[in-house]
Structure 1
Amino acid sequence: MPDAPTGPSAPPPEAARMSESPPAEPPFDGKAFVRTLSTAPGVYRMIAADGSVLYVGKASALKNRVASYFNATPKPTRIMAMLAQVARMEVTVTRTEAEALLLENELIKSLKPRYNVLLRDDKSYPYVLLTNEAWPRIAMHRGPRAIPGRYFGPYASVTAVRETLNLMHKLFKLRSCEDSVFRNRSRPCLQHQIGRCTAPCVGLVGPAEYAESVRRACLLLDGRSDELTDELGRAMERAAEQLEFEQAARLRDLIGSIRTLQARQYVDGRAANLDALAVAMQGAAACVMLLAFRDGRNLGTRAFFPRTNGSDNPAEVLAAFVSQYYVGQTPPREIVLDRDIPDRELLEEAFSATAGRRVQIKCNVRGDRAGYVDLARRNAEIALATERGSHAAQRARAEALRDLLGLSDVAQRIECFDISHTMGEATVASCVVFDADGPVRGQYRRYNITGITPGDDYAAMHQALERRFRRAVEENGVLPDVLLIDGGAGQVAQARAVLEGYGVQGIALVGVAKGPARKAGEEELLLPDGRTVRPGPESLALQLIQQVRDEAHRFAITGHRGKRQKARATSRLEDIPGIGPRRRANLLRHFGGLAGLKAAGVEEIARVEGVNAALAERIYATLHGLDIPQGARSEG
């Protein structure tokens, strides 16, 4: 084998290694991709080299729409920046443009593309929930819609939901009690006695009659009160013809109540059932204000602050909001806007198809509707100014924290850990997350602490932090820039040990102690360099730390109380010898819950099926913290 060449013609080892590396990916050829497309309607996705989705769009003709990105027409800077990152594109063909609209919005919600306008509602607005059960329950609901059933709303305020629920109970007498209460009732509750529930828990109403009340309630909540009153009128006439005068009188009163509701407010001669929408923008910041009416009832205003991702076109922002907001819920009969938007007719067609009735989207309205739009516009401008002011204040506090901790830049992620328990019982650790804009509630976490000595806060903090950072290291997860620990040197030492044990560096670790006076504003901070400082109540940095710490404290206490209550409600009966699932169910059903059982005497407990006198004495003594009588310890 000849020797390797040497001298000037021989490439250096570094050049040889470079020549062995794979060639760079060729740039995306948009024009060549367009030639493969058809003119069918569908959805296209622009994807970056790292696999992230840059943009999702719809098209009535895929070939024509995608080709418009790669022609010689000048484009906005935002679009040119996006196209420079495209590594490949994917398309999905649909049967109609309306189907493409629905698919586009589903993909935007799930993929959260970098260059789409994204609807972001940071508040948990309340809904009216009608559960999907044999005996449906109607109640207010917040948070994820995980409970099976129908959700009506969202409503602007808790007051609006309570007024709606009050109306539903008066008109249709649906149950509001929790399932645990409903299953264990032995006699009607107060709601039945005051005429707000038909008491399905004890069989005072049949399944068919209750289901009919549920169906009618749905009609009213859907804004179909005219249809409901017409139906009730026909039912009243039939009842009168069959000489069922009491039933006819009940239906007459029900119709009268609904007519009174309809008469509260009219728009152009009929009850209002519409949403008025307006958008305000300052630079790339946007606020969409929604003013809602259902059957003449003003449900109030709600402000949304969509992430515009560089778009400065109010019509584009409003169109994205309308399409994303109403895809997940039934729209009203009318949506009035402060300006025209692209694809307005297409959105009307799609919403009408999903709602099963005609939905109109209007702009340039007159009369009362113009007044509603103007009210929404003025509220949007005020809300946007307030939001920008709060962001500026949040930014100032974040910059003050940067200066206090000596960071190179403003912290983009702050995490705070807190421990909550009652004398060692039901220990829970909380982790809350803040970014540059404030709390990121979707990333909050709770940790149930087990296997430690009750009341050992150091061990509890160590366990929670170990679980948090072990997972981050194993899964290459995101790490905070600042880690706040609610506690002094001992808790901070536990945090430092965990971080060093997993080799985590670059995190500013800060302990937050209450200080000698234990007063707000007098907190002592144990800084990363070992110094202990007391910034004082005027410090913007301390104000941000207090905000994060208080949120962690609230989140921990909420979890602890829930865990403690659950443990106390179930373990007391389970720990009594001689009580199995059947006897426990009999006891709770007979007394309507643990509170009723605790209030009962030994003789009354002994009347429950399967419970003799000795077992009743054991139950009574256990629930009241008394010594169990000698004769009752082994019997039953």
Structure 2
Amino acid sequence: MPEVHSEQLLAEVAALPALPGVYRYFDADGGVLYVGKARNLKKRVSSYFQKNHGGTRIGHMIGKIVRMETTVVRSEAEALLLENNLIKTLNPRYNILFRDDKSYPYLKIAGTERPAATGAAPGPSAFPRVAYYRGAVDRKHRYFGPYPSAWAVKESIQLLQKVFRLRTCEDTVFANRTRPCLLYQIKRCSGPCVNLIAPQDYQHDVDNAEAFLRGDTQQVLATLETRMMKHAENLEFEQAAELRNQMGALSKVLHQQSVETISDKDVDILAVKVHGGKACVNLAMVRGGRHLGDRPYFPSHIEDGAALQQFDSNADDDAPADASTPVEVQVLEAFIAQHYIGVPVPPALITSEPVGRELIEALSLQSGVRIAAVHNPREQRRLWLEMAQKNADIQLARLLAEEGSQQARTRALVEALDLSPDDLEGFRIECFDISHTAGESTQASCVVFHHHKMQNSEYRRYNIDGITPGDDYAAMRQVLMRRYSKLAEAGRDPPDATPPRGAGGSAGRLPDLVLVDGGKGQVSMAREVFANLGLDLTVIVGVEKGEGRKVGLEELVFADGREKVYLGRDSAALMLVAQIRDEAHRFAITGMRARRAKVRVGGSQLEDIPGIGAKKRARLLQRFGGVRGVASAGVDDIASVEGISRELAEEIYRALH
């Protein structure tokens, strides 16, 4: 590994200012190696190039640096925020990385129109609906969350239906009801669609539901009791009984949730566990005083990132010579810094490890809310933290067990097929499947297994055209030609070169194994394609259904003439083959169904309208049940769909008429 850097790079390092900022290192291919922050850019960056780091992780990274970029900021807090924004967008190879998962679900109460005392009959917006929502929030509706899972949102919606009987139906359904639905019959809705509740009374329920979600449960009970007593004094016993039942349902929910003695309303509990070179951060959420559940996160690049972060910490002026930050703290701080970018931060964080004061101050600066982090909690908070720690232990143990199992399956398959890959870790499998309905909307799928797991980001779908409907062999020929023809052309230069095998079919290298879902017919077609392209036939293996098409009786068919192999019902190798084959089948079917649905509902008519993207098209089709429904809707109805302006609604109406 070369330790010599260009004079230009060293000159840039020498010219750096002694100011706070963020630096980025790049390799010869332009890939981002590392993103770091510094209170003194000159001192921090110079420390990388002034020492001989030998064969350490830091030395390996420094030897690859060919270019550097820096950004000067006003404070260390700004540097920390910028650093983690860049980490999330650039995915550097030597930083601790958490998957960018911002698609948290929310509970939405839609509708902003307040009920009027007089006037025309109220529309759907006068009776706000409660709904599951995932996406960017706006000011037109009220949002509660985020929630750790879709299940937590749906459970909360069920609670609101039981206690406050809010509607969940779409506005188009609401507007066309002539009699109450089943939810009214089972006392999960108050029937506003057919005027079985006055808008003012329904709004009381909405206000109480919002207060309940904020955690103001005692206020809700007091309000209900006051209204109940007022109805009783007016001899309106039926209405009083309804409120009494509502109070009873709410009290039951509060007892089940065990929230009556909890003062915390919005809290995040964070527990970290590191073992066996892997880590898990378990995030538990408390919103409105209710524990909503938790979610595990598994970072990558732990060892490299921890080594670089430790080096950065030791390079600070005020750091002791033997300063050593535990890996658990580094992982937890990396999670907090990356996770809360663009996500609402609750006022209290409970952590299993102490985190830096500068990090919490930076979060407070970003969110505009004073945030407190507690490391040694007491009472209820301690119970929450212990629960989160236990879940982190369980999730990490599950991950390690699954990875060990997957490695064993990979090894078993390699041995069963008598393969000899250069690197078991880089062993790559690509699997193909064809899916259609009576020849309609034929699609081929390619899924990728690499590093002992399925690589979703490398999956590909291929629309198959120009073949006889239902001809699976022609479809297989087409997808294999499209997948590997460029690879074959690259392998012919020089003419006698053998295409390299190993990792990364998308990077121009032949996979170690090509699975096709089918028997001799499909394998013969794959052999013909590979022979025409001059590729290695030994990598082709067909997965043939066994007797009666029963799972566990599959046989492997080879393109190079070897006898068929039955691995055995309990074989780890067969389990891996079946896992990959089933994933290819699932991926092909979902793509085929989406394409078929698009053709049948005429979604392409909407695609041709400027300003209509995938999300807006999906909202329109979901609201009106297809293009015919959109065409029969008026401009006002179309404009009521989220994201559709009045001008765009008029354009849609003109295009469909």
Same fold? TM cut 0.5: yes
SS of residue paired to 2:19: coil
1:78 paired to 2:110: no
**Equivalent residue for 1:420?**
435
Matched, 1:165 2:157: yes
Q: 1:541 matched to which residue of 2?
A: 573
Q: Does the CA-based 8 Å contact 1:335-1:361 persist in structure 2?
A: yes
Deviation at 1:401, TM superposition (A): 1.9
Q: Does the CA-based 8 Å contact 1:28-1:88 persist in structure 2?
A: no
State whether structure 2 residue 446 is matched by structure 1 residue 431.
yes
In structure 2, the residue matched to 1:33 is 13
Following superposition, the deviation at residue 317 of structure 1 comes to: 0.9
Tell whether 2:363 aligns with 1:385: no
Unaligned runs of 5+ in 1: 1-23, 572-579, 588-636
Alignment of 1:110-149 (within 5 A): 110-120=89-99, 127-128=105-106, 130=108, 138-140=130-132, 145=135
CA distance in 2 between counterparts of 1:103 and 1:195 reads 51
In the alignment, which of 399, 407, 421 is matched to residue 420 of structure 2? 407
Offset of 1:272 from its aligned partner?
5.0
1:170 CA displacement = 5.0
2-structure distance, mates of 1:244, 1:104: 64
Structure 1 pair 45–230 and aligned structure 2 pair: CA distance change class (3 A): farther
Partner of 2:587: 555
Match of 1:92 in 2: 71
Which secondary structure does the structure 1 equivalent of 2:578 belong to? helix
Q: Specify the alignment match of 1:10 in structure 2.
A: none
Aligned to 1:524: 555
1:378 maps to a residue whose letter is K
Deviation for aligned residue 1:334: 1.6
Match of 2:295 among 302, 309, 331: 302
1:322 deviates by 1.5
Does structure 1 retain, via aligned residues, the 8 Å contact 2:53–2:59?
A: no
Aligned positions of 1:440-459 closer than 5 A: 440-459=455-474
User: Which position in structure 2 is the counterpart of 1:614?
Assistant: none
TM-score, structure 2 normalization: 0.69
- 8 Å contact kept, 1:131–1:147: no
3-state SS, counterpart of residue 273 of structure 2: strand
3-state DSSP class of the match of 1:128? strand
TM-score, length-scaled by structure 1: 0.71
Asked if the contact 1:286/1:308 (under 8 Å) is kept, the reply is: no
Contact 1:488 1:512 in 2 (8 A): yes
Distance 1:538 1:89 in 2: 53
Match of 1:477 in 2: 506
1:331 aligns with 2:345: yes
Q: 1:481-500 maps to which residues of 2 (within 5 A)?
A: 481-500=512-531
Q: Provide the C-alpha distance between the structure 1 equivalents of 2:377 and 2:170, rounded to a whole number of angstroms.
A: 45
- 2: CA distance, partners of 1:227 / 1:473: 68
2:348/2:374 contact within 8 Å kept: yes
Question: Which residue of structure 2 lines up, in the alignment, with residue 54 of structure 1?
Answer: 33
Secondary structure (helix, strand or coil) at the match of 1:270 reads: coil
Structure 1 CA distance for aligned equivalents of residues 216 and 344 of structure 2: 18
Equivalent position SS for 2:361: helix
Name the structure 1 match of 2:215. Answer: 225
Shift of 1:363: 1.0
2:375 equivalent in structure 1: 363
Matched letter for residue 300 of structure 1: G
1:109 aligns with: 88
Seen in structure 2, the aligned counterparts of structure 1 residues 383 and 30 have a Cα distance that, compared at 3 Å, is farther
Counterpart in 1 of 2:632? 585
CA contact (8 A) 1:394 1:437 kept: yes
In structure 1, distance between residues paired with 2:89 and 2:461: 25
> Matched residue pairs, number?
544
TM-aligned CA distance change 1:329 to 1:582, over 3 Å: closer
Larger Rg: 1
- C-alpha displacement of 1:165: 1.6
Counterpart-to-counterpart distance in 1, 2:37 and 2:476: 49
Offset from partner CA, 1:99-138 (integer Å, 9 cap, x none): 333322222122111010011389x997235398886865
| Conserved? CA contact 1:232–1:251, under 8 Å | no
Check conservation: 2:524, 2:559, Cα contact below 8 A.
no
CA contact (8 A) 1:54 1:113 kept: yes
Residue ranges of structure 2 left out of the alignment (5+ in a row) = 113-124, 307-326, 491-504, 604-626, 635-657
Q: CA separation of 1:498/1:526 partners in 2, compared to 1, >3 Å: closer, same or farther?
A: same
Displacement after TM superposition at 1:527 (Å): 2.5
Once the 2 structures are TM-superposed, how far is the Cα of residue 269 of structure 1 from its aligned partner? 4.9
> Whole-Å Cα distance in 2 between the matches of residues 39 and 58 of structure 1?
11
Whether the 8 Å contact between 1:525 and 1:533 is mirrored in structure 2 is: yes
Most deviating of 282-291 and 194-203: 194-203
Q: Does 1:376 align with 2:388?
A: yes
Query: CA RMSD of the aligned region, Å?
Result: 4.6
Contact residue 229 and residue 255 of structure 1 kept, 8 A: no
* Cα distance in 2 between the residues matched to 1:101 and 1:211: 44
- d(CA) in 1 for partners of 2:209 and 2:486? 47
Deviation of 1:257 (Å): 7.4
Closer/same/farther in 2, CA of residues 544 and 455 from structure 1, 3 Å limit: same
Q: Distance in 2 between matches of 1:32 and 1:73?
A: 19
- Following the alignment from structure 1 to structure 2, what is the Cα–Cα distance between the partners of residues 209 and 38? 64
Cα deviation code 1:446-485 (max 9, x no counterpart) = 3343443222111222333344446878999335332211
Q: Secondary structure at the match of 2:37?
A: strand
CA distance in 1, matches of 2:175, 2:452: 45
- Residue 350 (structure 1) shift: 3.4
Q: Secondary structure at the match of 2:443?
A: strand
